[in-house]
Amino acid sequence: MKYHIKEENGFKYIESDPGKEKTLLLLHGLFGALSNFATIIDRFAGKMNVVVPMLPIFELPLRKLSVMGLVNHVDDFVQFKGFKEVNLVGNSLGGHVAILFALQRPEILRSMTLTGSSGLFEAPLGSTFPKRGNYDFVQKKTEGTFFDPSVATKELVDEVYDIVNDRNKAIRVIAIAKSALRHNVGDRLIQIRKPVLLVWGKEDTITPAFVGEKFDELLPDSRLFILEKCGHAPMMEHPEEFNRLLYNFLVEIGETE
């Protein structure tokens, strides 16, 4: 299903069901595209208000460009929309933003789902950042995000290629990645008392499976699922299984029927 990107008050976002009481807020990663969350939107639209704010990685003033700058953007967006409670879902950098938002605004957090989240450990970007101008290299690096390289569609490869070949965008990606490394959340996870679902790919090379296990150890109320033959984006490689786990979790905590 196609969803229109709304632009209001400096925010860009998708919203499936503004009238629904329950909100499912999806936060994308550093190279995130709307297609990353397409199956989640389709699965939960109609049951909940599924909302995807575009993180302004390429729009924020450079002096404000940091993980906390993105957290504050999400906070401002949630307040603008008047959401009283949210169920967060974050992949990769989006998971990191979700964690920091949960720590900043615990009173409106209902639940959190993390998949391939940064915040504890991630492979350093400097050793893996794709080379400018080399499409084949970019394609191989993008394919390496997944266990099944065919998940890296031409659309996704083209998007990454565009980013790494735009000097301004590349600088911003590196700045955010460095900021993420500075905002390790290990000693603060005990403060998150709401239920957390962890879904990890066994073959994730960016935030390996042991990272999911460490999150599970440090979070007071979490449940961990590690998916076989799966890389850094379980919701893309195994959408049916991911959605089944997310649905069961939301039913368990009374956020959907």
What DSSP string runs through 75-115? Answer: HHHHHHHT-S-EEEEEETHHHHHHHHHHHH-GGGEEEEEEE
Q: How far is residue 257's CA from residue 247's CA, in Å, rounded to a whole number? A: 9
The token pair that represents 16 in the structure block: 């499936």
pLDDT one-digit tens code per residue, 165-194: 888 888 898 899 889 888 999 999 999 999
Q: How far is residue 135's CA from residue 131's CA, in Å, rounded to a whole number? A: 8
Q: How far is residue 240's CA from residue 236's CA, in Å, rounded to a whole number? A: 9
pLDDT one-digit tens code per residue, 110-157: 999 999 999 998 765 544 455 566 888 888 888 999 999 999 889 888
pLDDT one-digit tens code per residue, 192-211: 999 999 999 999 999 999 99
Mean pLDDT within 78-91: 97
Residue 238 has pLDDT above 80, yes or no: yes
Q: What is the pLDDT of residue 31?
A: 77
> CATH 3.40.50.1820: does it fit domain 6-123+184-252?
yes
Q: What is the pLDDT of residue 220?
A: 98
pLDDT tier, 164 (very low <50, low <70, confident <90, very high otherwise): confident
- Produce one character per residue of 148-185: b if its CB has 16 or more CB atoms within 10 Å, e if not: eeebbeeebbebbbebbbeeeeeebbebbbebbeebeb
pLDDT one-digit tens code per residue, 239-256: 999 999 999 999 999 999
Mean of pLDDT over the chain: 92
The token pair that represents 124 in the structure block: 């350093």
3-state secondary structure of 186: coil
Residue 35 has pLDDT above 90, yes or no: no
Is the CA virtual torsion 244, 247, 250, 254 positive or negative?
negative
3-state secondary structure of 18: coil
pLDDT tier, 1 (very low <50, low <70, confident <90, very high otherwise): low
Q: Which of 22, 247, 207 is nearest to 96 (CA)?
A: 207
Q: What is the pLDDT of residue 127?
A: 42
Q: What is the pTM (predicted TM-score) of this model? A: 0.93
The token pair that represents 131 in the structure block: 């080379």
